[in-house]
Amino acid sequence: MSDDTVTQPPVHVGPKAGSVALVGRPNAGKSTLLNRLLAEKLAIVSDKPQTTRHRLVGVLTTDRGQIVFHDTPGLHRPLHDLNRRMLQQATDALNEADVVCLLVDASERPGAGESYVLELLERAEGPKVAALNKIDMMNKGKLLPRIETYAETGIFQEIVPVSALTGDGADVLLDVLYRLLPEGPPLYDPEVLTVHPERYLAAERIREKVLENTRQELPYSTAVLIEGWEEDPDTRFTRIYATILVERAGQKKILVGHRGDMVKKIGTAARHDLEAFLGRRVYLDLHVRHEPKWRESKRILTELERDLYARWE
């Protein structure tokens, strides 16, 4: 008797490669999640909203393929030219990515801006994932209704509860993202962690120390410019000359502190962080400069973005 059974060839799934945009409202935990997924501290983190000001690229390469993450500024109503640029970077990433991952602070009640964010995602093409973050900070009984709310939108292929802080659910989220990405060769060298130069990442780490040591509105009206960068290849010693910008004279007085104690405190903390990051000794020359309305200055904003895009030009 003949055997008419037809055996199907196995389905081969090749390595995946593509971009994932991490988007969401301010303070949803996007940067913390990026660092968790990369298992490296790339993005600075703070408990203050609008910490991320530029689209930050982090590259994860494993035996399953390569994910190019785009950590984006929080989606919010822009009040200054700086905020408008931040919003543009977030929406550009959202519309250009192969997969969009919406990060939601599930421990908080939905805010007024949530419908705006969902409208943006609904217009974007490609698969979308909702990552309900901060589940370590909420009652488990409240999680299911939040999952159902996002499922009812019909926007998302997957909804994944996670804790960027503890790592709970992070592996599940990675599995989902890899599955949704297209097949293809790596977009970057497998050894690459980010496309951004050390100058930009150093400025961010200095700004992180400003955020850690200041309160109220001061963090939003400060920025860090790298004015000079000198390296001695023989001694592996780096000299960094940086300036903290503030909008008002009173803010400069706060940041400088009594007899310079505040700027010294920030500088010492930043130097230790930079030495661990760069793997070499660092001399940090840090000053504070009063620059009125710098958030509306195209010259200042372009200068702040110079090092971010230096390797892309």
Tokens of 34: 């990026």
- Where do the domains of the chain lie, and which CATH numbers do they carry? 16-180 (3.40.50.300), 198-306 (3.30.300.20)
Please give the model's pTM, rounded to 2 decimal places.
Answer: 0.89
Tokens of 274: 């930079």
Closest CA to 74 of 129, 27, 128, 12: 27
Q: What is the pLDDT of residue 75?
A: 85
Q: What is the pLDDT of residues 155-182, one digit of tens each?
A: 999 999 999 999 999 999 999 999 999 9
C-beta neighbour count of 250 within 10 angstroms = 11
Q: Are 298 and 256 in contact (CB under 8 A)?
A: no
Question: On the CB side of 96, how many CA atoms lie within 13 Å of its CA?
Answer: 12
Cα–Cα distance for residue pair 202/225, rounded to 1 Å: 10
Q: What is the pLDDT of residue 313?
A: 35
CA dihedral over 174, 156, 92, 112, signed as positive or negative: negative
C-beta neighbour count of 232 within 10 angstroms = 11
Q: What is the pLDDT of residue 12?
A: 46
Closest CA to 296 of 39, 138, 100, 84: 84
Low-confidence spans in the chain with pLDDT less than 50: 1-3, 5-12, 311-313
Cα–Cα distance for residue pair 252/261, rounded to 1 Å: 13
Q: In what order do the strands lie in the sheet with 128-133?
A: 56-62, 65-71, 16-24, 99-105, 128-133, 158-161
Q: What is the pLDDT of residue 185?
A: 95
